[in-house]
Every structure is written in structure tokens, then in C-alpha cells.
Chains A and B, each alone.
Chain A
Amino acid sequence: MRPFFFCVLLFIAGLFSFSPLPAETDTYVPPVGEAPPVAPPLKKGSPLDHLANDPKMEALPVGYKEGRTSDPIYYIAHRGIDDMGGQGWGWVKKNGESWGSAKWIALQETPGTAVAPFRKLTKRDGDANWEFKFWGSYASYKAYDPRLDELLPVFVLQGYEVIGPENPLNNKIGSPDRSNHRRSGASSREGRPILTDPGVD
């Protein structure tokens, strides 16, 4: 009888000393009559307002400049499209160097100063195989492309000048890891792109 009594006491004490986390609920019902959240009106004069309301072009004017373009040191950039669905912008090399030294990059725009040339076009790939002079620099960080699970060097754009259309390059598209078939260790990167929409809203 005593051991049984002792066990009962232990059980009761245990109830007070452990606190299992509650079961979660997956659904939420918003208050009746509450409007769903929406984006605010475009702020007049903002970069988005400018992009949304300016007329789009079929092709960029050769010689067009945007942003800071006065520095004598610049890069040459060749727009490429990743058929695997990656969001890299294209190749960038230092002016005067060969395309063999070029890097496949992620383009970081600077709204208010210089944005990707395709922003002015009716199609995002409307500048495929066009070349540009780029002003800017490489960032200390890399960009992760969630569609292909790969890392790309980041070029921070400060200005550009349109050179014009050129022949396609023979360079391999994508990060060096993809080109060299290196395995990262994550099963998601081993030869099988993710290719799923990563986001939600």
C-alpha cells in the first residue's frame, strides 16, 4: 500500500512540475467584416511610382545612361537568361579583361540611383544578350537564389550605359558550383534544382 501511495504522490507532483506545450491550432478566423490587408497607394515620386507609371519601351536606346557614370573605371556586363529558372542577371567583367574572367552575378539595384535596365522594358528578358557599361562594385556578401539553391556574387549597381545588342556568349550560366558540378552537401543542391516558388504572401 505504501509504494502505491508514494507513486500516486509522485504522479501528482509530476503534474505540477511538467508543463506539456499546448496543442496548436492551424486556423485563424479574422474578425467579421474586417477588410483584408491591401497595399497602400503608390507614394507619388517614389521609385515604384516612377516605374509603374513611366511608359515601357521595347528596346533600350543605345547610349542611354542612368545613375553615376562619370568614373573612368567601369565594368562590361552582358545580360543572360538562365533557362533553369535561376534569377542571376548575367555576366560582368572588368573593362579590358576577357569574358573568361567574367562572373555570373546577382544584380543589386539602387532604387533612386540606378535600377536594372529591364525595368524600362515591356519584358524582363527584353535585354537578353545586350551589353552595358556598369559602374558599381562587388558586395562583401553573396545572394542566395532560392529557385536553384545556389549562391551568387552580388554586383551593386550605381550606374550604367547601354552599349547595345551583342552575340550570345559561350560562358556557362550559373554559379561556379553549378558549372563545376560541385556538391554542396545539402541534398537539395545535388543535381536536382528546387524550382519551387519559395515565397508566400
Chain B
Amino acid sequence: MRLFTLLFSLFVLGTLTAPAQSREKIVLTGGPALRFMEHGKGEVSHDVYWFNFVDASVVWLKKIKSESKPDELVTWLIYRPAYQSRSNEMGLNLIAQLQDKAKQLGVNLLFFDNTDQLINYFNRGLDRSKVKIASFDYFGHSNKACFLFDYSNTIDTMSIAFLHVNDLKRIHSNIFASDAVCKSWGCHSGELYSKQWKDHFDIAMIGAIGKTDFSHGALPVLSNSDGKWSQ
């Protein structure tokens, strides 16, 4: 009985005195196209609504924020230049609107202007030996090999800011918690990106086989009946 009491006391003491594991939940949001680029493309015209990715992100952020523990950070990473240029095009201050949304959500908003800044945040934004990433969700344009933070915003139908599967090796492979949950809500990620992600981080990433549809202004759904989520 003494041994049990000793062990139990040590266990309780350990749970009380050991520092709580800090974790970070990350939502990454890409930018919209410019109407200047997409105007007149008919059914394939992208991002008629400027906050399609933002609204989806907000729905998800509300959910994970409400479920987060006090020691879990919720960080919202947004590709700023696309929203700045869309602001200029529309005559609205979308950046201020994004800041308001983040404030209302109570999440940590960080803008990035290029892929190097994003990778730097993954690797060194926080002390990754102590603060592991517990979840990662991407909302934005993508094909099966690439997250496109910029798409048809600087150059028609092309991207100048992206995270290609070939770039994953630039991100430290130990930044995720062992039970991390990752998902790309963009198109086609399940066709290649998920595999490369798993190979590099040893963490599964759910991705779509086929296209996803953000047009509801909410969480995207699979566009086609033969589409599915995969990892």
C-alpha cells in the first residue's frame, strides 16, 4: 500500500508541477484572385466573392477556438498581398476587416507576404521544441502539387506565392505534435500533396480527391459526386 501511495503521489505531483504542454492550432488562408484577371471567364471565373476562403476559415476558427484549451494557441496566418490588392480593386479595406474578424474570434492573426516568411514561422515562429503544432488547416487555391496563396492576383491564372510539395523539405519535419490533425480544404490536395506531407512530416493530411467548392461562403464541400476526402 505504501508503494502505491508513493507512486500515486508522484503521479499527481507530476501532473501538477510539470509545465502544461503548449500547442498551437494553425489555420492558413490564401488569397482571392482579382476580378481584373478573372473577369469574363464565365463558369471558371474564380473568387467572385472576395472572402470565400476567409468565411470558411472563420467557421473553422470558431470551432477550434471554442474547443481549445487555455494552453493551446490558435493562430490565423493570412497571405496579405492578395487581400491588399483586392482591397485596392474594390475600394474597401479588407485588411481592416480581417483584423476585426480575428479580434472578434480572439485568435492570433499573423499576415505573411511571401512563402519564406511562412516557412520561417513554421520553423521558428515559436520555440518548436516546446510548442508543437496540434492542428493545421489550409483554405485557399491549390492543385495536387501546390498550395497557391496567390492565384490570378498578380499574374493572370498563375501564382507568385505558393508552397509546392518540393518546398516541404524546407520546413522542419518535427514541428507537429504526434497526434496532430492536418487538412487541406483546397482542390486536389489528396491526389499528391497529402502523400508528400505524410512522407515529410510523418503526419497524415486529409485532402480532396477532385475539386472543392467554397461558394457557400462557409466550409467547402466536395464539388463532384465522385470526389472524396483522402489522406
Residues of A within 8 A of B (CB): 2, 5-6, 9-10, 13, 16-22, 24-30, 36-40, 43, 46-48, 51-52, 87, 106-109, 111, 116, 139, 141-147, 149, 152, 154, 184-189, 194, 196-201
Closest to A155 in B: B155
Are B164 and A37 in touch, CB under 8 angstroms? no
Closest to A22 in B: B67
Are B216 and A30 in touch, CB under 8 angstroms? yes
Closest to A187 in B: B192
CB B113 to nearest CB in A, in angstroms, measures 12
B22-49: CB near A (< 8 Å → 1, else 0) gives: 0000000000010110011000111111
**Complex formed: what's the CA distance from A199 to B222 in Å?**
13
Across the interface, which residues of B come within 8 angstroms of A139, CB to CB?
A: 160
Task: List 15 contacting pairs A-B, 8 Å CB cutoff, sorted by A.
Answer: A21-B135, A22-B63, A26-B222, A36-B216, A37-B49, A37-B55, A38-B48, A51-B36, A116-B156, A149-B145, A154-B155, A186-B145, A187-B192, A188-B192, A199-B151
B89 within 8 A of A: yes
CB contact under 8 A between A43 and B91, given known A13-B15, A144-B148, A200-B214: yes
**Complex formed: what's the CA distance from A116 to B158 in Å?**
14
**Complex formed: what's the CA distance from A199 to B156 in Å?**
12
**Complex formed: what's the CA distance from A200 to B211 in Å?**
7
Across the interface, which residues of A come within 8 angstroms of B15, CB to CB?
A: 13, 16-17
B128 within 8 A of A: no
CB A144 to nearest CB in B, in angstroms, measures 4
Closest to A194 in B: B143
Across the interface, which residues of B come within 8 angstroms of A144, CB to CB?
A: 146, 148, 158-160, 162, 164
CB contact under 8 A between A143 and B229, given known A13-B11, A26-B219, A196-B188: no
Are B49 and A30 in touch, CB under 8 angstroms? no
Across the interface, which residues of A come within 8 angstroms of B212, CB to CB?
A: 200
Are A106 and B158 in touch, CB under 8 angstroms? yes
Are B229 and A26 in touch, CB under 8 angstroms? yes
- Among all A-B residue pairs, the 10 with the closest Cβ atoms: A28-B218, A37-B49, A188-B145, A198-B143, A143-B158, A28-B219, A199-B46, A87-B157, A201-B46, A146-B143
CB B220 to nearest CB in A, in angstroms, measures 7
Are A196 and B166 in touch, CB under 8 angstroms? no
**Residues 128-175 of B at the A interface (beta carbon under 8 Å):** 134-135, 141-146, 148, 151-152, 154-160, 162, 164-166
B46-58: CB near A (< 8 Å → 1, else 0) gives: 1111111001000
Are B217 and A36 in touch, CB under 8 angstroms? yes
Are B36 and A20 in touch, CB under 8 angstroms? no
Which interface class (under 10, 10 to 19, 20 to 34, 35 or more) fits B? 35 or more
Are B179 and A28 in touch, CB under 8 angstroms? no
Looking at the complex, which one of A26, A51, A107, A145 makes contact with B39 (CB distance below 8 Å)?
Answer: A51
**Residues 61-78 of B at the A interface (beta carbon under 8 Å):** 63, 67, 69
Are A43 and B145 in touch, CB under 8 angstroms? no
**Complex formed: what's the CA distance from A46 to B36 in Å?**
9
B95 within 8 A of A: no
Across the interface, which residues of B come within 8 angstroms of A184, CB to CB?
A: 166
**Complex formed: what's the CA distance from A68 to B154 in Å?**
19
Closest to A146 in B: B143
Across the interface, which residues of B come within 8 angstroms of A9, CB to CB?
A: 8, 11
Are A199 and B146 in touch, CB under 8 angstroms? no
Are A188 and B52 in touch, CB under 8 angstroms? no
Across the interface, which residues of A come within 8 angstroms of B63, CB to CB?
A: 22, 24-25
B187 within 8 A of A: yes
Are B187 and A199 in touch, CB under 8 angstroms? yes
Across the interface, which residues of B come within 8 angstroms of A18, CB to CB?
A: 179
**Complex formed: what's the CA distance from A152 to B220 in Å?**
31
B186 within 8 A of A: yes
